[in-house]
Amino acid sequence: MQKIIKIIVFFLLGFSLLLSTTGQAKSTDKSDVVYNVKNYGATGDGKHLNHSAINKAIIACANAGGGTVFFPAGNYLCGSIHLKSNIHLYLDAGAVITGAPPEMHAYDTAEVFPFPQFQDGGHTFFHNSLIWGEDLHDISITGPGMINGSGLTNKDKEKDGTVWGGAIETGDKAIALKNCRHIVIRDITIFHGGHFAILVTGCDLVTLDNLLIDTNRDGIDLDGCSNSIVSNCKVNSPNDDAICPKSSYALNKPVVTENLLITNCEVSAYREGTLLDGTRISSEVGWSGGRIKFGTESNGGFRNCVVSNCIFKSCNGLALEEVDGGEMNNIIVDNIVMEDVRHYPIYITLGSRNRGPLATTKEGSVKNIYISNIHVLNADALSGIQITGVPGYAIQNIQLRHITVQYQGGGTKADGLRSFPELAKGYPEPFLLGKTPAYGLFVRHVQDLTLSDIQFETIANDERPVMYCNDVNGIEIDGLKAPVAKGIPAAVLYNVKNIEIKHAPLLQSVVAD
């Protein structure tokens, strides 16, 4: 037996030695394809500019057919870093790429945009970014390190009104990618990402996974992209949107955003930096903050998109906005939890801003929207769920199922009697229109609306009706529970046709005026 044990021990020792030798060989092989930025002159001392050395490492790696550009621990003060195809940037633990301050003039000048500009300046220019790439394939940025865009701007325009990003050598995005294919950004942290922490435009096969973003404006914008996944991300953006699919005119044509999955993400609007440090301090309620929003840039529209298993905390609610002539079609939202929601819980709107070439601009459309399993605590009293088309152009086939919303309440009789303005060509932001005349649900210019298992609650008494409907053809209600203030109608219905009500005693006696 002892002889057998010795043989086994000898075999295991030999096998371990073989593994060790194999590992060493692999390590040697790996050193031949990993391009350490410090070997190309990067200091990582936080004082000297490093982007020229980093770009040399990227060029060397690309010329060899591609591979990994490695950032060991250090603080790499940088201007514009130029990505290339088949390049993997790996930020090791303790590695920080820091955006240089404007006075160092370290960023590339914004490229010329030779077409009429119908989109915001931030969507127009890419080269004046901390990390950018255009017309590339097979690129990735991963690792436990950080991008700190402390020197990036978050402005749209200069004080004289000119569009930000023209010839100004100041970065405004942490990562900007245009017309690229097969992109992976995973595991990194982005702090203070500028106008956009991540902007990908006209890209295909995009994976954004396990990102921690705590930023001063938009977190993630996917503009005119296809076959994309945003998963397991935490995005805090107190001054703008957290995850924001768009379909602008930045490619000089309408391009649909389609086949998109946003899943297992958490969005919020805490003070910048307090997600990272764990204090999670609520920010002041402003224009918008922290939400998942489709639009407003929407020339190309949105098709076949899913939002699932997400948490909204101390931020605006879900917004689906089609205002620039595109088609929003086949959108599924499921299993969402919200708490301390500002302005509104759910906002679905069709508008007539129609920002685009006059020759191609037309009224857009919104149809086939399926929203289910939404649970909201402490929603702002400003607005109930809003679903609004425009006169002559109804939103079509909207289904809301298994929705529970706890509102703050406090609305007055006067709020319930106010004439609520049409969005028309205005910017689609509910607070600009004021309080809705119903605390639970406001519906206008809609065809075929299904409500199933809907429950509203109010923390304080609310003297507005539960529901307001105007110019609606086809409503099916199966299960609606909500408190109604004394002397207030449960619902106000104007020009409503083909309504069917089941399991909603508070609505049984309602007759359209």
Q: Where are the domains of the chain?
A: 39-507
Q: Which whole-number Å values give the CA distances from 260 to 253, 322, 335, in the listed order?
A: 20, 16, 17
pLDDT at 26 over 70: no
pLDDT digits (tens, 9 = 90+) for 315-346: 999 999 999 999 999 999 999 999 999 999 99
Whole-number pLDDT of residue 97: 98
pLDDT digits (tens, 9 = 90+) for 55-102: 999 999 999 999 999 999 999 999 999 999 999 999 999 999 999 999
Higher pLDDT: 253 or 2? It is 253
Percent of the chain clearing pLDDT 90 (strictly above): 84
Whole-number pLDDT of residue 156: 55
Whole-number pLDDT of residue 429: 94
Q: What topology does CATH give the domain 39-507?
A: Pectate Lyase C-like (2.160.20)
pLDDT digits (tens, 9 = 90+) for 28-65: 334 458 999 999 999 999 999 999 999 999 999 999 99
Q: Classify strands 266-268 and 234-236 as parallel, antiparallel or unpaired.
A: parallel
Q: Which whole-number Å values give the CA distances from 53 to 30, 86, 91, 174, in the listed order?
A: 21, 19, 15, 18
Would you state the structure tokens that stand for residue 212, as one six-digit string?
């921690």
Percent of the chain clearing pLDDT 70 (strictly above): 90
pLDDT digits (tens, 9 = 90+) for 443-491: 999 999 999 999 999 999 999 999 999 999 999 999 999 999 999 999 9
Taking the C-alpha atoms of residue 151 and residue 172, their distance in angstroms, rounded to an integer, is 9
Q: Number of C-alpha atoms within 13 angstroms, CB side, residue 260? A: 30
In terms of C-beta density within 10 A (0-12 exposed, 13-18 middle, 19 or more buried), how is residue 261 classed? middle
Q: Classify strands 441-458 and 365-379 as parallel, antiparallel or unpaired.
A: unpaired
In terms of C-beta density within 10 A (0-12 exposed, 13-18 middle, 19 or more buried), how is residue 11 classed? exposed
Would you state the structure tokens that stand for residue 423, as one six-digit string?
């969005």
pLDDT at 243 over 60: yes
Can you give the three-state secondary structure of 24-92, one letter per residue? Answer: HHHHHHHHHHEEEHHHHCCCCEEEEECHHHHHHHHHHHHHCCCEEEEECCEEEEECCEECCCCEEEEEC
- Out of 2-16, 187-201, 238-252, pick the least confident: 2-16
Whole-number pLDDT of residue 359: 65
Whole-number pLDDT of residue 287: 80
Whole-number pLDDT of residue 5: 37
**pTM for the whole structure:** 0.91
Q: Residue 282: beta bridge partners?
A: 270
